[in-house]
Structures are given as C-alpha cells and as structure tokens.
Structure 1
C-alpha cells in the first residue's frame, strides 16, 4: 500500500485546476473530440499516474491447453469466456492486473476482457459498436477510481464500469456486456478439461504478484473522493451488480443461492481474492458468483466494490436482507 499512497500523492498533485480542464488533456489526446462529452464535472477525471498506454493493453494473445498450465495456482481467479461454438477460454487475473484489457476474438465475436483492480470490476464486452470493431487501450485516466478506456479507432474515452462512451465521437454509445464471470482456475479446468488458458504475455512483469496488497481490506478507496455507500455498507465490500441492482456478498454468509428479481445468484468457495495478499494465489477465499435467469442461462454481471456501484448507479437498488 505504500506504493499506492505515493502514487496517490503524485496524482492528487496533478489534479490542479488546469488538469481538470479538458484543454489540459488535448496535448496528449490531439485526435479526441472533447467538444462531445457526457462529463459534467471534469474534476472527476484524474491521471492515475501512468500515461496513455503506460499500462499496455493486449491484443490477440496466445493460449495453451489447461493441462499444460503449471504456473497458475488452483485458487487464482480467471475471467471465463464461454461462447457457443468456441473452445472455452480463461483469462488469468494475474495478467489482467498488469494489462487491464485484452482484445481478442472468440467464436467470431470480437471481445474486450477488462479488469479494473481499483474497483474489482471484471467485465467482458463485445467490441462491435455502431458498425465498427473497436480496439481498446488504457488511457491512464481514472474517474471515481475506475479505469477510463479508450478506443484506438476514434480516440474516444470509455468508462469501464459502465461500458459507455464518455468523451469524443463515441459519447453515449454503449458496449454490450457478455455473460462471463470470474472463477478459480481449478473451477474452470475441472469444467473444461479441454479448455484454453491465456499464455503469459511477453512483458517483464512479476505476474502472480498483487501490487495492490491489502487493498480490499482498506477503509477508503484509492483516488476516490465521492460519496460512500449507504446502509453502512463498507466502501470496499464486494457486491454483485446485475443491471442497476447490487447484492452485497455478505448475504451469502448462511446461504449459497439467492433467487430474487427473476434471477438466481449462486456462490461457491474456492476463489482467492486478487487484491489481498502479496501473491494472488494466497489471497483469502472470496468465492465464485454465477448469475442465471429462470431458464438457467448465464447473465452479464459484475462483482465490484460497493463504492463504485454507488458512484456510477447513485439511484441503484440495494438488494439487502
């Protein structure tokens, strides 16, 4: 956390009145149309420290068979993408922690697998928007502590938690979230013994290390000055977001399945937190969530921190006991 606090001090220093004016960003983003935006208060946009592409997104990664994978612990989280007609794929969070976005194509569907460590938000989007296939990168900007993505085709900015364009030509456009989920590598490989897992990227990173050690036990979010969640819900408590509803994970203390609002949420132990101990595989057990409709079909959802849900869905519904 010491490195996080140092970065926070640097970033807050950058958040000067000049830095909150969109004109300040134009030297770095000359091809972005700042006249089109849904951002009303530019003070919400902060530099996270790294510049544009300082966190390098990945495209068209290599995969290996799960039986060949020997580096990833059984409890380590992966984002699972299962698309009809394609071999199931697992994207390890140990890689997404350092790259945040993977542009890929699965079963003919162009996808962006995304993970924002500061919000614990892991969502997979269809990259097709308004007749274009977009390729996403990491802008280096944060809004309400959530990653701001950008597309290389129009240089527009996108809010990762929302999947919505917020600056530039694509302002107001919405990405389609796909029904993917986060689970342990053991769960994925047991269900998909012939499945594929993303191979280690060719970057000099300490994959498997958690650079945000102890973050999900903190009392306050990193680089967030917004309102805290209601109902005395801790800011960094995990919640299951489905649409504009949020179910706190604490509801699964005595039950493993909840059926409400026409959907069923299930919880199973065995997945390590990616934001707890120094090595991801040693993190405490936060379990795996699946969300299905009445016909048993998986639904798009996100397991994010409570403060982020409240920031982006201030009028959302809290599904409490």
Structure 2
C-alpha cells in the first residue's frame, strides 16, 4: 500500500500571474514567482525558474529571455507555462527520486476563465507530468482556505486580489451565485507606480523596483495609522539619462494607486447590486473577505469599508489562502460538486 501511495502523489497548485504555490503533504512545498528564464538559442532549455529567474528579469543579454507565462490570470505562453510547471514540480523533491511518482494534481483557475483557457491549463499540467488533473475556481478555493463552510445556505462575498485579476464573487450552497472579474490587480498597481515616478519625477524604473516599492510602502489611503518611512528609489533620469536616487513617500504611492483601487470599489458595488436580497442580508451580517496578495496593501480594508459601509476582513494568510483551499478540495475531490474533473 505504501508503494502504491508513493507512485500516486497529490499536489495542489495555485498557478498565479505573480506567484505559484504548491502544497504537498499538507505543507507549502513551493512558493516561487511565476517566471522562467529560457535559452533563446534552445527554447526548451530552462536556465532558471522562480526567484532565480526573477533576479535575472530585466537584466538579461541576447542569449537569455525571461518569460512570465501567465497574464491576467490565464496562460499567455503555453510552452513556457509547461516548462515552468515542470520545473516547479521538481522543486517538491529536490533530490530526484529513482522512480518518479505519477501526479494527481488540482489547479485553481479564475472564475471568469473561458473553455479554451481552461483547456490550456489542463494541457500544460498533463504535459508537465500530471496523470489526473482537477480544476477548481479561485473564489471557492479561497473560501475553503479561509475556513468558510461553502456548502451551507449562507451567502459569502470573497474578494481575491491577485497579480493579474481581481475576482469578486458571492458563493452559497457550494456554488457561485454572482461573479465580477476585472483585470485590475497587482500588476496594474506595479504599472501605476512606474508611471507615477516617470510622470512626477522623470525617473524610469523597472518592474522589480516598482514591485519592491509596492511591498515596502504601498498604501490604499493617505491616512494610515502606522505609516511606513520614506524609502530611497534608484532609477534613470529621463532628462539627463544618468542614474539618480529620489525619496518616495507612501502618500505618493497611495495617490498613484487611487484610480485602480477606485475601479475595484466600483466592481464590488456592481457585484453587490447583482446579489439576491437574501444573500445580501447574509453579507451585511458577515462582511466581505479579502484574499490574495493585494489584500496586504496597507489601509485597503479600511478604505473599502468606508466606501461600501460594510465590515471587511483580511484573511489570516491572504497569499496562501487560495492554495490551502485547493489542498483541502484535493483531499475531498469526490465530495465537493464544484471540483471540475
């Protein structure tokens, strides 16, 4: 029996635009950026994946290219996605086993995904070595990861702010009742920061620098209880072409992100308008749940609560709530009706 269990191993994967997480044996075995570095002369040769590939991003020469295979929550580069998944699965077992196991894999996907995009995810997983592939919608996985009983007849609103998309979903009775998905999320926040520094400081910075600014001083409001200190930012002066350094405050970043967060607020209000009244009363009592990396933006829960006049709860570990829920669904794949076989 132990030998049989070895040959069929289970992994749950949150294949995200910004980060990919893998759970194996109830532990987060892999948590890496969704990026792969490839040899231009031999596109099948993977030079690095995850954090090592991210360190190469925007610093490569003509023989190396870095690829982010996912865009807006779906696979944009099929071959790069397959290679990335294959390499990330290898990280589950750093020491290569004598007999590679066959994988039963569950992957979470955006609720707004098309059948063609769904097929691309399934095919990539199968090409990467999965023998059985199950799919689950991200909002259902997030709800399970937070600890919500998704099968009870109670409405819950989940707002999952990922790298490529923000999904606003009302779930009840193990199903999605109404759903809004907009392509405003972490990547858009990063682009907003790059644009603001270019416009107001004539400073050109790269994606990685903008991402670090977002993590260190990113804020959704200018009125924070515990504001972070200003940070130095290095880039290239667009006027002189010479590298320079400026100091940036969290208020500037809050102003840069304002338009994108406003669009998320509008999408939440639109989703609430479509919610049946009985479920709306449940949401009034229980509030809204924030998951995904975007939930870590300082003051976002406070700003949303002021706008929508409802309590907003941030998940305990918003970055891992989706993958944890995917792992729970994988353990009970024959029980939950929303798991797609």
TM-score, normalised to structure 2, is 0.23
TM-score, normalised to structure 1, is 0.24
More helix by share: 2
